[in-house]
Amino acid sequence: MPEPSRPPATPGATGSATPSGPAASAVSAASPATGAARSAEPRIPEAIHRRRWWILTVLMFSLLIVVLDNSILNVAVKTIASPAPTGIGATQSELEWAINSYTLVFAGLLFTAGLLGDRIGRKKVLLFGILVFGIGSALAAMSASPGELITWRALMGFGAAFVMPATLAVLMNVFERDEQPKAIGIWAGSVGLGIAIGPITGGLLLEHFWWGSIFLVNVPVVVIALIAMAVLVPDSRDPKPGKVDPVGVALSIVGLVLLVYGIIRGGELADFTDTTVLLAIAGGVLVLAGFVWHEKRSSHPAMDVTYFRKPAFSAAVAAIALVFFALMGVTFFSAFYLQSVRGYSALQSGLLIVPLAAAQMIFAPRARLVVDRFGARAVCTVGMLLVAAGLASFALFDAGTPVWVLCLVFFVQGTGMAHIMPPVTVAVMQALPREKAGSGSAINNTFRQVGGALGIAVLGSVLSTVYRGDIEGHLGAVPAGARAVAGESIEATLGVAERLGPVAGKPLVTAAHDAFIGAMHVTALGSAAVALIGAAVVARYLPGRTPTAPAAPEESAQDSSQDPSQDAASRPAKELTGS
C-alpha cells in the first residue's frame, strides 16, 4: 500500500530546536498523555520517513539483545555455580554480583548516556554502546573465575546503558508525533519478546553447550546490529545543547550508584537496617536531592526538573517504577517456585513464561487504540489492576497448581503490562521536546531500573526473612555446623537435604517446599499491594480522554490567511502530521 502524501520536510527535523511564538504556546499547553500536537515540530525528512519501520526493526534488535541477556543469565545461575568444568564454582554471593554489577553500572550511567546522545548524536552513542556490549559479552564467555565474570558483566552494563536510552530517542526522531504511540507500543512489545526467548534460548544453549555460550551468542547478533545501524539509522542530536553541566552529571552518577548499591546490598543481607545499607541509601538520596537543588538553580541544567511539576509526567514515571518494582519481585521468586518447588528445568520454566511475553507482543502495539477510545487514565488503571490481580494469584498457588492456571496468570500479567508501558512511555517522551528525547528516554529507563532493583531487593528480602523463620523449626536433623547454611534459602536447604540421602532428607524437602510457598504467598501479596498503589497513582494523576474539536473550515481558512504560525498552532494534530 503506498504511503499517503506528506508535506515537504523542514531541514534539520531530526534535531530540531524548541519552537517559539504562538506555536510554542500551543506546544506548552498540550497534554503529554493524550498525544496532543506539539504542532510546530519540524517534519521528518522524507528519506528517513520512508524507512522508519526498518529503522524500528533495527532498534528492536538492539534492545532485544540487552533484555535477552539478563533473562538468559537468570536460568544459568545453577550451572555457573557448579564446579569446573561444568561451571566456575561461583558462590551465591558471587552469582548475585554477576547480576548486580551489571545493574549497578547500567542504572548509574543511564541518565548520563541519554544526555550524551542528545549532545554528540544518538547514532554514535548507540553504535558505541552495542560495540562495548559485544566486547563485554565475548570476554564474559571466556571468564575463568567468578571475579572475571563480575568484571565483564559490569562492562556489559556500561555498554547497555548507552543502548537503552538511544533506541527510544532515535525512535522519537524518525516517527511523526501521530505515529509515535504505535511505534512505542511495538518497541515495548520487543521487551516482551526478550523476556520470552531469553530463558528458552538459555535452556537450549545449556543443554547442548558450555555455560559461556549464553554470552557468546550475543557476539554475532551484535555484528549484525552494528552493520544494520550503520546503514539504516540516521543520526540526530539537540541542535542547541547549551553548556555542559559537569556538576549535575557527576551528582546524578554518584547518587544513582549509591542508591542502587544500597538497595542491592540490603537485598543481599535481607536486612535494610544494616549500617552499610543505610549509609549507602541515605547518601544516594542526599546526593540526588543535591542534584535536584543544583539543577533548579543552574542556568544550563543537565535535566529540567520542572517537568516533574506536571502531574501527568510525574505519575507516568512513578507508574513505571511501581510496576517494575512489583513485576521484578514476582519474577525473582517465580523462578525458584517453578524450578525448586515444581521441579521444572530451565527450558521448561522459560516456556511457561511465554504467555506473559505473548500477551505483551500481542497487546502492546495495539494499546494506543484503546487509549484513543478510553483515555490513558482508564487504560493504565485497568492495566495496573490486572497486574495486581496476577500477582495476588500467586498467593493461591501450591505445589500442585495446574500448569494451565500458571499460564493464564502469566497471560493476565502480560496483558496488564502491555496496557501500562506504552501509554506511560508516550506520556514521558511526548512531554519533552524532540531534541531532548535522549534525556526523556534516560528518565524513563532510570525509573524503571531503580524500581526493578528495589523490587528484587525489598521483595527478595521479605521472601528470605519469612522463609528463614518458617524453616528454622525443621532443621533438627541437620548437623549443627550446617544449620545456618541450610536456612539461608530453599536452594541451600535442598542441597543439604540431598546430602542427607533420599530417606532422611525427604521430610526436609517437604518442609522446604512448604516454607517457600508460605513465603511466596506473603511476598505475592506485598507485590500486589505495590501494584494497587500504582493503580491509585495513575487513576488520580494521569489525564483522561480529551477529545479534540475540529476547527470550522471558514475560521481555519481566515486564520491561515492572517498568520501562518497561528494556523500551525491551531490545526488538529493529524493534519499537521500528514495523516
60 vs 518, more confident = 518
d(CA 413, CA 483): 37
Mean pLDDT of 345-370: 81
pLDDT band at 42 (very low <50, low <70, confident <90, very high): low
What nine digits make up the cell of 498? 540431598
Q: Name, in order, each residue with C-beta under 8 angstroms of 163's C-beta and a sequence gap of 6 or more.
A: 62, 63, 66, 126, 129, 130, 133
d(CA 252, CA 254): 6
pLDDT band at 29 (very low <50, low <70, confident <90, very high): very low
d(CA 121, CA 235): 6
Positive/negative CA dihedral, 254, 257, 263, 264: negative
d(CA 424, CA 338): 31
| Residue closest to 186 by CA, chosen among 167, 165, 160, 173 | 167
pLDDT band at 195 (very low <50, low <70, confident <90, very high): low
What nine digits make up the cell of 92? 551465591
The predicted pLDDT at position 558 comes to 45
Give the three-state DSSP class for 530. helix
- For every residue of 235-298, DSSP letters joined together read P---S---S--HHHHHHHHHHHHHHHHHHHHHHHHT-TTSHHHHHHHHHHHHHHHHHHHHHHH-
The predicted pLDDT at position 573 comes to 37
pLDDT in tens, 273-327: 888 889 988 998 999 888 888 878 877 776 767 777 777 778 888 888 888 787 7
In eight-state DSSP terms, residue 488 is: S
Place of cell 500442585: 400
C-alpha 339, offset from chain centre = 24
Whether 138 has a pLDDT exceeding 50, the answer reads yes
Q: How many residues does the chain have?
A: 579
d(CA 482, CA 487): 9
Whether 9 has a pLDDT exceeding 80, the answer reads no
Highest mean pLDDT: which range of 78-87, 92-101, 228-237, 559-568: 228-237
Whether 552 has a pLDDT exceeding 80, the answer reads no
C-alpha 484, offset from chain centre = 36
Alpha carbon of 256 to those of 428, 442, 530: distances in Å?
20, 12, 22
Q: What angle do CA 343, 345, 346 make, to 5 degrees?
A: 130
The predicted pLDDT at position 545 comes to 67
CB-facing half-sphere around the CA of 444: CA atoms within 13 A = 28
